[in-house]
Every structure is written in structure tokens, then in C-alpha cells.
Amino acid sequence: MDFTTAIKILGVAVILAGMALCLALVRTAHLSPLYKRLAPFALLMVPLAVLALGNYHVFEGTQNVSSCLRCHVMLPIANDMMDPESMTLAARHYKNRWIATKQCYTCHKDYGLNGTIKAKMDGFRHLVKYTFRTYEEPIRFVGRFNNDNCLQCHRKTAKFEGIKSHHTIRERLEANQIGCIRCHGFPHPTGSERTPGTARYEELHRPLSGGGGGAK
């Protein structure tokens, strides 16, 4: 049993216990001694424990590719990533196992002190847009991609340091003044490929066989 499943079982158990406490509280005389003993657990501690477990589920569960795939707008990105013929950056990292697990999160969490918080805030924005369908396809990356997402693995490797142009533009790379994809190609299918009505759009939206091809 993995940790996420354990948290899931624990979450349901705590919720059931919380519900039982709430029902017991409703049947107890208001402000009676028993009410005062039950209330801190029923109205404060157990609810806060549920919030903690739920938030853990939000923060940890969303790191998996399967979580990203729950939104259909991610299908073309995932289909391309798992396509052995594709030469996008995501597909090359996937098929070569350069990133073995949590492929989406590894490149999109934004490293640094506030990086993960920013990624989560972006996630909440995406959640609102997806829930209320206030987005248009093809979806586009908002803002500037943080090169640290690439450099956290590539920086100081012999292969990276051995390329002269990396030294020439190092300061601009570190300052996000120039993107890695400027030289290294598209990370995902282009916007035109993901535009509804095109043949490539239909191809990229085919359901994934096996629910994600082993991506974690």
C-alpha cells in the first residue's frame, strides 16, 4: 500500500469519526457537560484534521501525472509526452527516463523559495478556470517559464558545462531573460497543433491506453 492510499483510508476514517461525533453532538443538550467534552473534538480538532488531510491530498496528489490527466485539456500534452515518435522536450525526457516519475510536476513546480507556492497558486487558478470552463483551447502558458526548472538538473553537469554557448548566455539564462526552449525546441505540441478542428487536435485527444501508460 502506497502512502497516498494510506492517507486516503485515514482521511475517510477520520471523516466517518467526525460525522459520528457531529451526530452525537446534535443529540446532546446544548452546553451540557457532555456537549462541552464532545464539542472541541467535533467542532475543532477533527475538522482541522480533515482539512489537513484534504490539503495533503491536494498538495501531494497533484504531483502525479495521473492527476494532471483528470483535466481533458492535458490529454494532448500527455499523449505527446508518451509518444515514442515525438521529439518534443517532454517526450524526449519521458522516453529516455530522464525524469522517471512526476514528469509534469518536476518541470512545472518552479524551484526556489517561493516556487512551490507559486505553482500551487497557479494550480488554483487553473482549477477555477477549468471548473467554470473559462478557458479557450489551445491553452497557453501564462507568464515566463522559470529556467530553474531545467537548470536544477542540467546546471553543472559536464554535458551542460561543455557547451560554450551556455557560458556565453549563462547570466541571461539564470535571470530568465532568455528561454531554454529558444534553442532546444518545443516542450509540448504547439498551439496550432492543439487548436480544435485540426486533424492533429483529434489525434492528440485520443484516450490514453492504460490510463497513462505507466506515468506517475
Partner 1 sequence: MKRNGKTLLILLGYLLSAWFILDPGPLPMALFVFVAQPLIALAAVLYVVEVLRELKERGVL
Residue 138 binding partner 1, by CB under 8 A: no
User: Does residue 139 bind partner 1 (CB under 8 A)?
Assistant: no
Selected from 6, 12, 121, 163, the binder of partner 1 by CB under 8 A is: 12
Tell whether residue 131 is a contact of partner 1 (CB under 8 A): yes
Shortest distance, position 114 Cβ to partner 1, whole Å: 20
Cell of 65: 501525472
Query: What does residue 149 show for φ and ψ, rounded to 5 degrees?
Result: -60, -35
* Residue of 34, 87, 100, 127 that binds partner 1 (CB under 8 A): 127
Contacts of 46 (CB under 8 A, 6+ apart): 14, 17, 18, 21
Residue 41 Cβ vs partner 1, minimum distance, rounded to whole Å: 11
Question: DSSP code of 118?
Answer: H
Q: How many of the other CB atoms lie within 10 Å of CB of 137?
A: 15
Q: Which stretch binds partner 1 (CB under 8 A): 20-28, 106-114, 156-164, 199-207?
A: 20-28
Pick from 1, 6, 34, 57 the residue near partner 1 by CB under 8 A.
57
The single-letter code of the amino acid at 10 is L
Contact flag: residue 8 with partner 1 (CB under 8 A): yes
Sole binder of partner 1 in the list 6, 34, 48, 163 (CB under 8 A): 48
What residues between 64 and 83 interact with partner 1 by CB under 8 A?
67, 70-71
| Minimum distance, C-beta of residue 139 to partner 1, in the bound complex (Å) | 14
- Which cell goes with 39? 464539542
Which one of the spans 57-65, 148-156, 161-169, 173-181 is the region binding partner 1 (CB under 8 A)?
57-65
Q: Which residues contact 216 (CB under 8 A, 6 or more apart)?
A: 64, 65, 66, 100, 101, 102, 103
Is there a contact between 94 and 103 (Cβ–Cβ < 8 Å)?
Answer: yes
CA 31 to chain centre: 45
Instruction: Considering only residues 104 through 123, tell me which ones interact with partner 1, judged by CB under 8 A.
Output: none
Any contact of residue 208 with partner 1 (CB under 8 A)? no
Q: In angstroms, rounded to a whole number, what is the distance separating the alpha carbons of residues 72 and 61?
A: 17
